[in-house]
Structure 1
């Protein structure tokens, strides 16, 4: 029996429908994640790894729908975004962005807490230009190394997802049973970080959250307008087309740029 297609899809959902579907997609992502954790407890690390990566992909779909349900216009203004809903590969750059936010996000929260609890310590650092610059360079180098690691991982995430499910032969035989606990934990650490980021920061975008920071809400409204006026959606579409090009791997170019920045900072010391 051939499955008939209707006239409703991710691309033409209303704002209200987006929020409903996003909620269920987040739930499905959680279910995949929990199933993966359960499999890992039974030493099925290959399939567990694949399920965690699939849960990340579902979260990326849900995120776009959630943002559009709260006033953004990614589906109607980003050229080629339809492919994100049916192409595994296109969800990884978005996940990399979230991973980058997560790398810096926790530190930003810690700095804000320190400023509130011990402002004099921060002020003392700020007064000493040399000390502040040295501290900033050490911090950036550390974070750049982390981000390079993330770029490398996301460049291979699609292969890892497949290796966790199927036997393959590429120079040597690869089987899901080859994936060990350390491989799984490496994936688990990343997926967990993105899940925490989503839980912490998603409520910021919720238009229904009347208790939210009014200043922050004003910035979000400004961002929504600037994505249109500053052609932000168009630029995202251009990036998507690059990632959709089978002959090119934009993550390789990004890796080269970040590595050059790392070299420049290292030479400054």
Structure 2
């Protein structure tokens, strides 16, 4: 009961009208990617849009202060180049091929122009807990100014959601949570402190941690819960039972697993 009272006071729930769209559909994790279609590519987003799925994507900051759509902080895994993303300009990154295809690393502005409000988008702001986050948050906010499609920002780093609470209160903001092996009392306290610091409008929860008493308590009081990454039937069942939306991957399959009642 004391935690419930503190949650209500320190991290109040949003107006339901602000976040109702979160649970109205599922989201393709880094777009609908697979063989020949790299993750976080314009081709992957085009496939998601064509099938009517929401989109989840990741952003990093380039050396010239632009938000670029890329998951890792280094180029090595996804390209033939090496080294930190932040050491290249957006133009340089835009010339780098993804996974040996004709796709290249896009800016967030280019991707939002492509989506153009056709489907909702969840933007994960990638952050190093030891880094200053204001410049990256600002680079994303600048792109979102004037964008009228349904969108939200989210991060594992509670400082990101708090930055948007302070500097862009109309932006829907989420806290990403993974309990992992940290389920004892110290972990529970850390999650609560993250919640109170972030003041999020929704949670994005690791599907492997569901059911979760923490997630359930937040959902009951009015925070929507999206869950990641739904890849198999068991995950799909958990998403249907314990969350409002699934962030899913299909490995390139044409038909994604859906929770009953989710809109395609």
TM-score by length of 1: 0.24
* Larger-gyration structure (1/2): 1
Larger helix fraction of residues? 1
Higher relative contact order (CA 8 A, sep 6+): 1
Question: Which of the two has greater strand per residue?
Answer: 2
